[in-house]
Chain A
């Protein structure tokens, strides 16, 4: 107990050092001058230090308690059941969502589905092939700008542009991938990061091509076999004899992104069973072993990279048609990091885990924004009048990635279902799968 108190006290002291200046001494522009002044926040520091002290104390005591108790044999995981029952249930909820939801929920649903699709697309690269791609948003941008430029310059419809955008993104994936995929894992991550930034900077500065940082507005809306969603003769509602409602367009968009996401899911599930998918997973586990077994690692990586880019391009194209406006602001590194956080927290390789992570991380924060009592609580307790949960999103994502890596590096849904098996399929716990160095 005494040792635990000492440990917690030390942690609190470190926390005071870390946060005392950065949190406690907020620099603000003074009233009536342009000079900066210090705006002290002693309460915030006190709360953080207290939380660190109590948290550390609890952690140490719990660890002592656990060490004293007799070791218990680990129960086998029930995770495989999750896939069998939860996935169809989730699909059912997703498919029937527009029937009983408000306009706002459908909007959130479209947003969440976009991230589910991006997560599944990136999952092919990161989760299956084990290539860390920090510039995934570049392909999202290629898809969005492909549709925008093709539609505004040549007047092509969304349904023609969608596959073109995907293919263009895949081509960019190959152009980037061909030279860099020979690099080691961490160097590859940095190169993809640099590539993502280059694409964004070019979009900002090449004004004749992309409209610069002002972006491109008035992108043509989505159509249903040529029928526009508008209140006029020849529109969707007029043709089918419905009474016009602007929500019909939203519902259609929702089903489009749901279909695209399911396409991504279906493709990656099928690909996992093909030789190429097995090669991806083998590559993730041990690159040198792969090479000595005669697998062409460059081509294997390139297909994963191009396919991931393809789905990113499709999602980007959908993003452009949904927003009706694109600008480089939407394709920052933060976006890549968000998608990566979804894949990492979903368990890198688990389809249902990624879907869960997207629903919680994106949908959860959207709903948190709407909670009025949280705002009043923060305003009355901490005096934060301008509290917005979205501000804390990045902070939480970052910390969640660290905690995830420390506690469950293989993800929440960490059982692996082997693609190849003898006689019967046995689930392998992620803890047992040790990875080689590649």
Chain B
């Protein structure tokens, strides 16, 4: 019981991170109908930028943790947003209206390029960061097993929920959100109504990339170690989360993220740690075959 509760806590924390990345996938897929394969690598770039920022702040002598977190979050999100914008501008925008597989191949190329870029510029070794938010408190104890909730997990949950709340407000209540939803339904009609479609799509990428960067920062804090390859696994899992929740649905992405986090935590806890990625990838295959619309998605009608 205690062990299960602990896995539940771990799974929810992990799920929050996946959910943040999944939002970027689901938004882009909703609007331009392509899998932004490079999104996982933007997450990785965000993690590296956070690492650089933490070290810089350490050198500058800013050791008050909340301030350091806030500054790093701003820095990583801003630069990653620039990455998201540049990727869309260079690799995807010229391909709008090209043949079906072109954007996907371009996205895969971008992903490979970003991964190798990080490897070349920052080195291939694992980068370790000291634990910035240590400690936690014990919830309860059973048969000598202590269920612990760390401060880190609380921070991750609060940051994620705040950002997702703000983001939901943005999509449902602001003119930009309305433009985004309009583009999702019918891009041509939206353009005819005087909305700058290119700008809306760019902003979607910018927002998605900054959310992924925050996820990267949280990942760095939670695990304390990153390398250039983390974007691949996290990207595939977050994509699984997006599909599981229903591509195009925001609450779906978060629910999917939580589900994947829980599956991974419980699988590692009760079945085998070695096969945890196999479990996540199998879920992806099963979901795509049997429920391609996901939990909250709409059925996709094929048109000629």
Contacts and interface: CB of A to CB of B under 8 A. Distances in A.
Nearest to A34: B128
B115 A27 contact: no
Interface residues of B, number: 67
Contacts of B91: 402, 405-406
B141 interface: no
Given A22-B52, A26-B123, A434-B99, 5 more contacts: A27-B127, A130-B100, A195-B281, A394-B115, A402-B110
B296 interface: no
Nearest to A182: B289
A51 interface: no
B120 A391 contact: yes
A101 interface: no
Interface in B34-76: 34-35, 45, 48-49, 51-52, 55-56, 59
A405 B277 contact: no
Contacts of B56: 25, 38
> Which of B94, B114, B278 has the most chain A CB within a 10 Å cutoff?
B278
A179 B45 contact: no
Contacts of B282: 194, 198
Nearest to A202: B278
A399 interface: yes
B108 interface: yes
A433 B99 CA distance: 10
Nearest to A340: B108
A395 B118 CA distance: 9
Given A14-B82, A37-B55, A406 B94 contact: yes
Interface in B82-132: 82-83, 86, 90-91, 94-95, 98-106, 108-123, 125, 127-130
Contacts of B123: 26-28
Given A186-B104, A406-B94, A437-B100, A398 B121 contact: no
A397 to B, nearest CB: 6
Contacts of B120: 391-392, 395
> Which of B91, B94, B99, B288 has the most chain A CB within a 10 Å cutoff?
B99
22 contacts: A18-B83, A22-B45, A25-B56, A34-B128, A36-B55, A179-B289, A183-B289, A184-B300, A190-B239, A190-B284, A191-B289, A194-B284, A201-B274, A337-B112, A340-B108, A392-B120, A395-B120, A397-B109, A397-B112, A398-B114, A401-B112, A405-B95
Contact of A394 (B59, B106, B116, B281): B116
User: Looking at chain B's contact residues, is the secondary structure mostly helix, strand, loop, or mixed?
Assistant: helix
Interface residues of A, number: 66
Nearest to B78: A17
Interface in A392-427: 392-395, 397-402, 404-406, 409
A191 B288 contact: yes
Given A180-B289, A395-B113, A406-B94, A401 B82 contact: no
B232 interface: yes
Contacts of B117: 22, 395
Contacts of B8: none
A272 B141 CA distance: 68
B101 to A, nearest CB: 5
Contacts of A34: 128
Contacts of B49: 21-22
A288 B304 contact: yes
Contacts of B108: 134, 337, 340, 398, 401
B230 interface: no
B302 A288 contact: yes
Contacts of A202: 278
B63 to A, nearest CB: 14
Contact of B101 (A130, A179, A434): A130
B109 A405 contact: yes
A261 interface: no
A58 B25 CA distance: 35
B275 interface: yes
A34 B130 CA distance: 10
A416 B284 CA distance: 36
Contact of B109 (A134, A205, A401): A401
A394 B112 contact: yes
B112 A14 contact: no
B119 A195 contact: no
B215 interface: no
A68 to B, nearest CB: 22
Contacts of B45: 22
B34 A409 contact: no
Nearest to B114: A398
Nearest to A176: B285
Q: Which 5 A-B pairs have the closest CB atoms?
A: A401-B109, A398-B113, A398-B112, A394-B116, A395-B116
Nearest to A391: B120
Nearest to B110: A402
A435 B275 contact: no
B27 interface: no
A256 interface: no
A329 B91 CA distance: 30
Given A21-B79, A405-B102, A26 B59 contact: no
A326 to B, nearest CB: 20
A414 to B, nearest CB: 12
B119 A391 contact: yes
B292 A187 contact: yes
Contacts of B288: 180, 183, 187, 190-191
